[in-house]
Structure 1
Amino acid sequence: MPRPDLAPPDFARNMKLIGHSDIGGRGDGLQLMVHRGHAYVAHPWSQGYSIVDVRDPSNPKTINYIQAPANTWNIHLQTHDDLLLVINALDLFADVDTFTGEKAYYTRSVGDAVAAKKYDRAWTAGMTVYDISMLHMPRKIGQLDVEGVGFHRLWYVGGRYAYASALLDGFSDYIFVTIDMEDPTKPLLVGQWWLPGMNRAAGEQPTWGDGRRYALHHALVHGNTAYACWRDGGLTLLDITDHAAPKLIKHHNWCPPYGGGTHSPLPLPGRDLLLVADEAVLDSEEDGRKHVWVFDIRVPENPISISTFPIPNEIDYAKKGGHFGPHNLHENRPGSFVSETLVFATWQNAGIRAFDISDPYRPVETGALVPAGPTAMIDRRPGRPKVIQSADVFVDTNGLIYATDYNAGLEIIEYGG
Structure 2
Amino acid sequence: MTKLFDAARNIEFVGRTNQAGRADGIQCMIHKGHAFVSHVFSGGVSVIDVRDPRNPLPVNFLPTHQRSWSVHIQTANDILLVVEEFNFYSVYVKETEYYGHSIEGVHSSKFGTRGEDYTAGMRVYDISNPAHPRPIGFMEVEGLGLHRIWWVGDRYAYASALLDGYTDHVFIVIDMQDPSHPREVGRWALPGMWAAGGETLAMPGRVALHHAVIAGDTAYASWRDGGLTLLDISDKTAPKLISHTNWSPPFAGGTHSALPLIDRGLCIVADEAVLDIDQEPLKYTWVVDIRAPQNPVTIATFPTPSDQDYVAKGGHFGPHNLHENRPGTFQSSDIVFATYQNAGVRVFDIRNQFQPKEIGFFVPSEPEQWLDTRPDRHRVIHTCDVNVQPDGLMYITDYNAGLYILQWKGG
Instruction: Give the aligned CA root-mean-square deviation in angstroms.
Output: 1.2
CA contact (8 A) 1:6 1:20 kept: no
Contact 1:70–1:124 (8 Å) recurs in 2: no
1:281 aligns with 2:274: yes
Letter in 1 for 2:301: T
In structure 1, stretches of 5+ residues that fail to align are none
Kept in 2: contact 1:228–1:235 (CA 8 A): yes
Q: Say yes or no: does 1:19 pair with 2:15.
A: yes
- Structure-1 separation of matches of 2:152 and 2:110: 36
The equivalent of 2:158 in structure 1 is: 163
Q: What corresponds to 1:124 in structure 2?
A: 119
Equivalent-residue separation in structure 2 for 1:271 and 1:332 (angstroms): 14
Say which of 269, 272, 277 aligns to 2:262: 269
Which residue matches 1:143?
Answer: 138
The residue that corresponds to 2:293 in the other structure is: 300
CA distance in 2, matches of 1:345, 1:217: 17
The AA in structure 2 aligned to 1:383 is D
**1:262-311 deviation per Cα after TM superposition (whole angstroms, max 9, x unaligned):** 00010011111100000000102522111110111111001111111111
Is contact 1:273-1:297 (8 Å) kept? Answer: yes
Q: How many angstroms apart in 2 are the aligned matches of 1:24 and 1:115?
A: 34
TM-aligned CA deviation for residue 113 of structure 1: 8.7
After the TM superposition, which residues 365-380 of structure 1 pair with which residues of structure 2 at under 5 Å, given as runs?
365-380=358-373
Q: Which residue of 2 aligns with 1:83?
A: 79
Equivalence map 1:36-47=2 (5 Å) = 36-47=32-43
Partner residue, 1:242: 235
What runs of 5+ residues in structure 2 fail to find an aligned partner? none
Residues 285-294 or 269-278, more deviating: 285-294
Q: Which amino acid aligns with 1:387?
A: V
2:180 aligned with 1:185: yes
Alpha-carbon deviation of 1:7? 2.6
Aligned to 1:153: 148
* Structure 2 CA distance for aligned equivalents of residues 66 and 238 of structure 1: 34
Change (3 A) 1:190 1:279: same
Q: Residue 10 of structure 1: SS of its match in structure 2?
A: strand
Query: In the alignment, what sits opposite 1:173?
Result: 168
Q: Which residue number corresponds to residue 332 of structure 1? A: 325
d(CA) in 1 for partners of 2:325, 2:247: 25
SS at match of 2:5: coil
1:259 corresponds, among 252, 256, 265, to 252
Q: Kindly indicate whether the alpha-carbon contact (under 8 Å) linking 2:278 and 2:314 is maintained by their aligned counterparts in 1.
A: no
Q: Hey, what does 2:100 align to over in structure 1?
A: 107
The residue number in structure 1 matching 2:335 is 342
1:409 to 1:114, Cα distance in 2 relative to 1, 3 A: farther
In 1, Cα distance between equivalents of 2:51 and 2:355: 36
Residue 145 of structure 1, CA deviation: 0.4
Q: Does 1:316 align with 2:312?
A: no
Q: Is the 8 A contact 1:353 1:369 kept in 2?
A: yes
Amino acid at match of 2:145: G
Residue of structure 2 in register with 1:59 after alignment: 55
| Cα deviations by residue, 1:21-56 (Å, 9 ceiling, x for unpaired) | 000100000011111211100000000010111111
Compute the TM-score of the two structures, normalised by the length of structure 2: 0.97
Alpha-carbon separation, structure 1, partners of 2:76 and 2:360: 29
- Quick check: 1:6–1:19 contact (8 Å CA) kept in 2? no
For residues 107 and 13 of structure 2, the distance between their equivalents in structure 1, rounded to whole angstroms, comes to 41
* Deviation sequence 1:108-138 (CA, Å, 0-9, x none): 1112595473523321111011110001111
Q: Aligned partners of 2:66, 2:56: CA distance in 1, in Å? A: 29
- Per mean C-alpha deviation after superposition, the further-off stretch among 285-294 and 184-193 is 285-294
Which shifted more, 232-241 or 120-129?
Answer: 120-129
User: How many residue pairs align between the two structures?
Assistant: 408
In 2, the alpha carbon distance for the partners of 1:24 and 1:290 equals: 33
1:90–1:150 CA contact under 8 A, matched in 2: yes
On the 8 A contact 1:284/1:320 being kept in 2, the answer is no
Q: Which residue of 2 aligns with 1:197?
A: 192
Moved more, 63-72 or 43-52: 63-72
SS in structure 1 at match of 2:311: helix
Equivalent pair of 1:111/1:149 in contact (CA under 8 Å): no
Which runs of 4 or more aligned residues in structure 1 lie more than 2 Å from their structure 2 counterparts after TM superposition? 5-8, 111-121
Is residue 108–residue 144 contact of structure 2 (8 Å, CA) maintained in 1?
Answer: no
Q: Give the Cα–Cα distance (whole angstroms) in 2 for the partners of residues 221 and 27 of structure 1.
A: 30
Q: Deviations over 1:352-379 (max 9, x none)?
A: 0011111111111110010001012101
Distance 1:241 1:305 in 2: 26
Q: Look up the equivalent residue of 2:352 and give its one-letter code.
A: D
Q: 1:361 to 1:409 in 2, by over 3 A?
A: same
The aligned counterpart of 1:400 is 393
Alignment check: 8 A CA contact 1:44 1:74 kept: yes
